Structure 1
Amino acid sequence: MQRLRTLIDPYLLMLIGTITLAALFPAHGAGVAWADMAVTVAVALLFFLYGTRLAPQAVWQGLAHWRLQGLVFASTFILFPIIGILVVHAIGGLVAPDIALGLLYLCVLPSTVQSSIAFTSIARGNVPAALCSASVSNLVGVVLTPLLTALVLPTSASGGFSLHSLESIAMQILLPFAAGQVARPFIGPFLARYKKIVGYVDRGSILLVVYAAFSAGMVAGVWTRLAPLDLGVVLVIDLVILAMVIVATTLASRRLGFSKEDEITIVFCGSKKSMASGIPMATILFAGHAVSLIVLPLMLFHQAQLFVCATLARRYAARDQD
């Protein structure tokens, strides 16, 4: 049962349930305004909680291992976007334009925190370095992901960096995150004692954002353009991107002479993408677009990375301890 829970993320089932709810009961009329207001509050709350959980001292301590951190950073914010551009160019019109945008957007997101550390621990890797890498990735990603979105995606898709988009990013992401960092010394211990409640708020906020995005997609009729076969195609493309990154980070870490423990950290932290940060950011960066289709590659990639990395972690863990 534990192995099944590792492979099939229970939260994915909740996401599927939320999507089903949005399909059956999408928000209409005045409900749309209420949903938009709730999403704005939810996104701000999410990044406030991220700020309260990120310990600056853990980041500074881990930065001493600059070669490892540099390789993970390069994988997350340089290698991934390059692969994304090449893959989207190669597939041409194989997928809908909004899904192609979603593939590019996936590739500019920061790494995950919880699963990167968990898989590194299972594989007997360098856990402190993984904690630092994941923390730095999310800290930098708050600023760098919007910048890369504007750089990598077409101007018409990302909306450019208008004054309004900058204001939205500042008010809904940067300001709450900074407020969380300031409040951390005062409320951090309290939140640490109630991790489960905070986790429910965290995940519940994301479910609310997903409902609003897919509800808007249903009302606009965007899902009528998506055939069941398209889901399979997107999943295959996600797996190809993931495989390319895992192979590249593995070969690079070995070529550069990293220890096996450091290699594990580089592979797991450098190959992940954060759905927790990606979906809320998408509602801001792609306002006016079919957000439900844009985040679809990310949602499929999230489950794919869990399957692949769970298998890889067990293989690493089984190695000889010479």
Structure 2
Amino acid sequence: MSRISFLPDKFSSLIFAMLVLATLLPISGQAAHYFNILTNVAIALLFFLHGAKLSREAVIAGITHWRLHLFIFAATFVMFPLLGFLLKPIIEPLLGSSLYLGILYLCLLPSTVQSSIAFTSIAKGNVPAALCSASASNIIGMFLTPVLVSWLITQQHVEHQSSNFGAATNIILLLFVPFVLGQLLRSTMQPFLKKHASSVKLVDQGSILMVVYSAFSEAVIEGIWHQVSSSTLIYLLIVCSGLLAIMMLLIHFSSKKLGFNSADQITILFCGSKKTLASGVPMAKILFAGQPFGLILLPLMLFHQIQLITCGILAQKFSKKTDT
């Protein structure tokens, strides 16, 4: 019945359930360590399956789709920072200087990797292009974001780049290596993938749920609900939601205006509108040493959860629209 069409789908409900579970029972200590290892295994398996599913021609087309990659790069590192600066007269008086600094910092971060690609896959977008663009954004962002922060925020040269090489190495080992292995074993894996399509979907969605629970558990343990007043938290939620909505609308209409097909539009939307918590937290520890670190990270933590919920809903909507 149409009257219940507004209700969230099962996957979106599961994402919200992970947020509630992390708030009530956050995972920590040794359990969190082992859960993080398990999450990494799930992510590696996700990219192995993507490599096994995709044809060699589709991968080459994804790599060479330079217009799409340029658009996502511009959305991530040009449109987002400009929007953060333009909204300063509204955001800073409303939230204060520390929280505005956090808003500006999230605008300078690269895109997420695994969730961008997983959502693109669920929504039936251009997965090879998403893999290339989101991974490149994250690797480039390891070096570009500190430069942007030093130029636009601290106005100081940022040192300590060695950890960036480690993060880039982790991206290659966790994402590209499994993907390449999947490509090499594609002919062997095809019968299994066709027979167990539901299991492949479970890996897609399960990896996202694991990332949500792990990330929000860490935020809860850090004291996310005790650092600001309830009214400021509401304002921050509104600002983060508005920022995401504005960027998604700009990306959607711009990509449509530039003539990208529907699959590419989905890829651009999910890769260009998201910001990484996984890379943002360790970089912030270096870039903002001695500053109110918790408050600077709070906007990113909330934005990260909002984008996952929003993209989860949109991915399912796009998937159902494609199937009809």
Scaled by the length of structure 1, the TM-score of the pair is 0.66
1:250 equivalent in alignment to 2:256: no
Deviations 1:299-320 (A, max 9, x none): 21344456679889999xxxxx
Shift in CA distance, 200/263, structure 1 to aligned 2, threshold 3 Å: closer
Which secondary structure does the structure 1 equivalent of 2:94 belong to? coil
- Write the distance in 2 (CA, Å) between the matches of 1:237 and 1:19: 17
Deviations 1:56-107 (A, max 9, x none): 6424225666445533443344323432444457511534746863674366
Cα displacement (A) at 1:32: 0.9
The equivalent position to 1:225 in structure 2, one of 224, 227, 240, is 227
Which secondary structure does the structure 2 equivalent of 1:177 belong to? helix
1:141 equivalent in alignment to 2:147: no
Q: How do residues 56-95 of structure 1 correspond to structure 2 at under 5 angstroms?
A: 57-62=57-62, 66-87=66-87, 90-92=90-92, 94-95=94-95
Q: How do residues 153-192 of structure 1 correspond to structure 2 at under 5 angstroms?
A: 153=149, 162=160, 165-166=163-164, 168-188=166-186, 189=189, 192=193
Aligned-partner residue type, residue 30 of structure 2? A
Aligned-partner residue type, residue 110 of structure 2? V
Which secondary structure does the structure 2 equivalent of 1:92 belong to? helix
- Write the distance in 1 (CA, Å) between the matches of 2:112 and 2:307: 13
Cα displacement (A) at 1:35: 0.9
User: For the Cα contact (< 8 Å) 2:84–2:104, is it kept in 1?
Assistant: yes
Shift in CA distance, 199/2, structure 1 to aligned 2, threshold 3 Å: farther
Aligned position for 1:318:
none
The percentage of counterpart residues that share the same residue type is: 19
1:42 equivalent in alignment to 2:39: yes
User: For the Cα contact (< 8 Å) 2:244–2:307, is it kept in 1?
Assistant: no
Which secondary structure does the structure 2 equivalent of 1:176 belong to? helix
Aligned residues: 300
- Write the distance in 2 (CA, Å) between the matches of 1:115 and 1:234: 22
- Write the distance in 1 (CA, Å) between the matches of 2:200 and 2:319: 28
Aligned-partner residue type, residue 301 of structure 2? V
Aligned position for 2:267:
269
- Write the distance in 2 (CA, Å) between the matches of 1:131 and 1:292: 31
Aligned position for 1:124:
none
Aligned-partner residue type, residue 306 of structure 2? L
User: For the Cα contact (< 8 Å) 1:62–1:132, is it kept in 2?
Assistant: yes
List alignment gaps of at least 5 residues for structure 1: 122-126, 316-322
User: For the Cα contact (< 8 Å) 1:18–1:211, is it kept in 2?
Assistant: yes
- Write the distance in 1 (CA, Å) between the matches of 2:148 and 2:285: 17
User: For the Cα contact (< 8 Å) 2:248–2:269, is it kept in 1?
Assistant: yes
User: For the Cα contact (< 8 Å) 1:71–1:266, is it kept in 2?
Assistant: no
Which secondary structure does the structure 1 equivalent of 2:133 belong to? helix
Aligned position for 1:200:
202
Which secondary structure does the structure 2 equivalent of 1:272 belong to? helix
List alignment gaps of at least 5 residues for structure 2: 287-292
- Structure 1 vs Structure 2 CA RMSD: 4.7
- Write the distance in 2 (CA, Å) between the matches of 1:117 and 1:63: 16
Aligned-partner residue type, residue 225 of structure 1? Q
Which secondary structure does the structure 1 equivalent of 2:225 belong to? helix
Which secondary structure does the structure 2 equivalent of 1:223 belong to? coil
Aligned-partner residue type, residue 294 of structure 1? L
Cα displacement (A) at 1:147: 3.0
The equivalent position to 2:303 in structure 1, one of 297, 302, 305, is 297
- Write the distance in 1 (CA, Å) between the matches of 2:79 and 2:309: 21
After TM superposition, the structure 1 stretch with the greater mean CA deviation from structure 2, 34-43 or 147-156, is 147-156
- Write the distance in 2 (CA, Å) between the matches of 1:98 and 1:164: 28
Which secondary structure does the structure 1 equivalent of 2:11 belong to? helix
Scaled by the length of structure 2, the TM-score of the pair is 0.66
Cα displacement (A) at 1:280: 4.4
